[in-house]
Amino acid sequence: MGEFVRLEIADGIGTIRLDRPPMNALNTQVQEELRAAATAAADDGTVRAVVVHGGEKVFAAGADIKEMAGMDYARMSARAGALSSAFDAVARIPKPVVAAITGYALGGGCELALACDWRVVAEDAKLGQPEIKLGVIPGAGGTQRLARLIGPARAKDLIFTGRMVGADEALRIGLADRVVPAADVHATAVELVSAFRDGPALALRAAKAAIDGGLQMDLAAGLAWESQLFASLFATRDQKIGMDAFVAKQKPGFTGS
Active site residues: 111, 131
Q: What pairs with residue 51 in β-bridges? A: 15, 98
- Between β-strands 104-106 and 118-122, what pairing exists: parallel, antiparallel or unpaired? unpaired
Distances (CA, A) of 215 to 75, 80, 131, 218, 226: 32, 23, 25, 8, 11
Neighbours of 106 (CB within 10 A): 24
Nearest to 10 by CA among 59, 49, 54: 49
Residue type, 161: T
Which residues have CB under 8 Å from 47's CB, separation 6+? 9, 12, 13, 14, 41, 95
Instruction: Give yes or no for a contact between 27 and 68, defined as CB atoms under 8 angstroms apart.
Output: no
SS3 79: helix
